[in-house]
Amino acid sequence: MKAISSSLLIAAAAAAVIALCSVAPAAAAREAPAPIIVGGWRPIKDVNDPHVQELGGWAVSEHVRQANDGLRFVKVVSGDEQVVSGMNYMLLIEATSGAAGKSATYGAAVYEQEWTKTRRLLAFEAAN
Protein backbone atom coordinates (compact mmCIF):
# COMPACT_ATOMS: atom_id res chain seq x y z
CA MET A 1 0.00 0.00 0.00
CA LYS A 2 1.37 3.39 -0.97
CA ALA A 3 1.90 5.75 1.91
CA ILE A 4 -0.13 8.94 1.76
CA SER A 5 0.50 11.50 4.44
CA SER A 6 -2.17 11.65 7.09
CA SER A 7 -2.35 15.41 6.69
CA LEU A 8 -3.35 14.93 3.03
CA LEU A 9 -6.09 12.49 3.99
CA ILE A 10 -7.30 14.72 6.80
CA ALA A 11 -7.23 17.80 4.54
CA ALA A 12 -9.20 15.98 1.83
CA ALA A 13 -11.71 14.67 4.35
CA ALA A 14 -12.06 18.11 5.96
CA ALA A 15 -12.55 19.70 2.54
CA ALA A 16 -15.31 17.18 1.83
CA VAL A 17 -17.06 17.98 5.12
CA ILE A 18 -16.71 21.73 4.56
CA ALA A 19 -17.96 21.42 0.98
CA LEU A 20 -20.94 19.36 2.08
CA CYS A 21 -21.84 21.74 4.90
CA SER A 22 -21.18 25.04 3.13
CA VAL A 23 -24.05 24.92 0.62
CA ALA A 24 -27.40 26.07 1.93
CA PRO A 25 -30.11 23.46 1.20
CA ALA A 26 -32.31 26.00 -0.62
CA ALA A 27 -29.42 27.12 -2.83
CA ALA A 28 -28.42 23.55 -3.57
CA ALA A 29 -31.96 22.72 -4.67
CA ARG A 30 -31.93 25.56 -7.24
CA GLU A 31 -28.53 24.70 -8.76
CA ALA A 32 -28.03 22.30 -11.64
CA PRO A 33 -25.99 19.19 -10.85
CA ALA A 34 -22.26 19.65 -11.23
CA PRO A 35 -20.88 18.22 -14.46
CA ILE A 36 -18.55 15.25 -14.25
CA ILE A 37 -15.04 16.50 -14.92
CA VAL A 38 -12.45 13.81 -15.56
CA GLY A 39 -9.65 14.23 -13.06
CA GLY A 40 -11.57 16.73 -10.90
CA TRP A 41 -12.61 15.97 -7.33
CA ARG A 42 -16.24 16.44 -6.33
CA PRO A 43 -18.21 15.63 -3.19
CA ILE A 44 -20.00 12.29 -3.19
CA LYS A 45 -23.62 13.22 -3.80
CA ASP A 46 -25.18 10.57 -1.54
CA VAL A 47 -22.89 8.94 1.04
CA ASN A 48 -25.84 6.75 2.07
CA ASP A 49 -25.84 5.12 -1.37
CA PRO A 50 -25.43 1.36 -0.82
CA HIS A 51 -22.38 1.22 -3.13
CA VAL A 52 -20.59 3.98 -1.18
CA GLN A 53 -21.35 2.27 2.14
CA GLU A 54 -20.23 -1.11 0.74
CA LEU A 55 -17.00 0.51 -0.50
CA GLY A 56 -16.35 1.91 2.99
CA GLY A 57 -16.97 -1.50 4.54
CA TRP A 58 -14.59 -3.05 2.02
CA ALA A 59 -11.91 -0.44 2.88
CA VAL A 60 -12.15 -1.29 6.59
CA SER A 61 -12.06 -5.04 5.85
CA GLU A 62 -9.03 -4.63 3.60
CA HIS A 63 -7.28 -2.53 6.25
CA VAL A 64 -8.01 -5.19 8.89
CA ARG A 65 -6.69 -7.90 6.55
CA GLN A 66 -3.42 -5.96 6.27
CA ALA A 67 -3.10 -4.58 9.82
CA ASN A 68 -4.99 -7.23 11.82
CA ASP A 69 -6.26 -4.60 14.25
CA GLY A 70 -9.90 -5.68 14.57
CA LEU A 71 -11.61 -2.49 13.37
CA ARG A 72 -15.32 -2.79 12.54
CA PHE A 73 -17.03 -0.66 9.92
CA VAL A 74 -19.88 1.59 11.09
CA LYS A 75 -20.57 3.93 8.15
CA VAL A 76 -19.13 6.31 5.58
CA VAL A 77 -19.61 9.80 6.95
CA SER A 78 -18.54 11.86 3.92
CA GLY A 79 -16.26 11.73 0.94
CA ASP A 80 -15.06 12.97 -2.41
CA GLU A 81 -14.77 11.15 -5.71
CA GLN A 82 -12.61 11.63 -8.79
CA VAL A 83 -13.24 10.23 -12.25
CA VAL A 84 -10.11 8.67 -13.72
CA SER A 85 -9.77 5.37 -15.57
CA GLY A 86 -12.17 4.16 -12.90
CA MET A 87 -12.86 6.12 -9.71
CA ASN A 88 -10.76 7.42 -6.86
CA TYR A 89 -12.53 7.89 -3.55
CA MET A 90 -11.44 9.78 -0.43
CA LEU A 91 -13.75 8.51 2.31
CA LEU A 92 -14.23 9.64 5.87
CA ILE A 93 -15.26 6.47 7.71
CA GLU A 94 -16.57 5.84 11.21
CA ALA A 95 -15.33 2.54 12.67
CA THR A 96 -15.06 0.93 16.09
CA SER A 97 -12.12 -0.90 17.59
CA GLY A 98 -12.77 -4.61 18.07
CA ALA A 99 -11.48 -4.88 21.62
CA ALA A 100 -12.60 -1.62 23.23
CA GLY A 101 -15.57 -0.86 20.99
CA LYS A 102 -14.47 2.79 20.90
CA SER A 103 -15.66 4.73 17.85
CA ALA A 104 -13.18 6.75 15.76
CA THR A 105 -12.96 8.39 12.35
CA TYR A 106 -10.58 7.21 9.62
CA GLY A 107 -9.60 8.51 6.20
CA ALA A 108 -9.40 5.99 3.38
CA ALA A 109 -8.22 6.43 -0.20
CA VAL A 110 -9.67 3.79 -2.54
CA TYR A 111 -9.29 3.20 -6.27
CA GLU A 112 -12.03 1.24 -8.02
CA GLN A 113 -12.50 0.14 -11.60
CA GLU A 114 -15.89 -1.60 -11.68
CA TRP A 115 -15.68 -3.09 -15.18
CA THR A 116 -12.49 -5.01 -14.30
CA LYS A 117 -13.62 -5.69 -10.72
CA THR A 118 -10.45 -3.96 -9.46
CA ARG A 119 -10.22 -2.33 -6.04
CA ARG A 120 -7.13 -1.03 -4.26
CA LEU A 121 -6.82 0.45 -0.80
CA LEU A 122 -4.29 3.23 -1.33
CA ALA A 123 -4.26 4.59 2.23
CA PHE A 124 -6.04 4.12 5.53
CA GLU A 125 -5.22 6.28 8.55
CA ALA A 126 -6.83 7.66 11.68
CA ALA A 127 -8.34 11.08 10.96
CA ASN A 128 -8.22 12.29 14.58
Residues 6+ apart with CB under 8 A from 81: 41, 42, 43, 44, 87, 88, 89, 90
| Domain total in the chain | 1
Confidence class for position 121, pLDDT limits 50, 70, 90: very high
Which residue range is the domain that position 79 belongs to?
39-124
Query: What is the tens place of the pLDDT at every residue in 45-96?
Result: 999 999 999 999 999 999 999 999 889 999 999 999 999 999 999 999 999 9
pLDDT for the residue 101: 80
| CATH label of the domain that carries residue 98 | 3.10.450.10
Q: What is the pTM for the complete model shown?
A: 0.70
Query: What is the tens place of the pLDDT at every residue in 1-34?
Result: 333 333 434 344 434 333 333 333 444 445 555 5
Residue 94 within a domain: yes
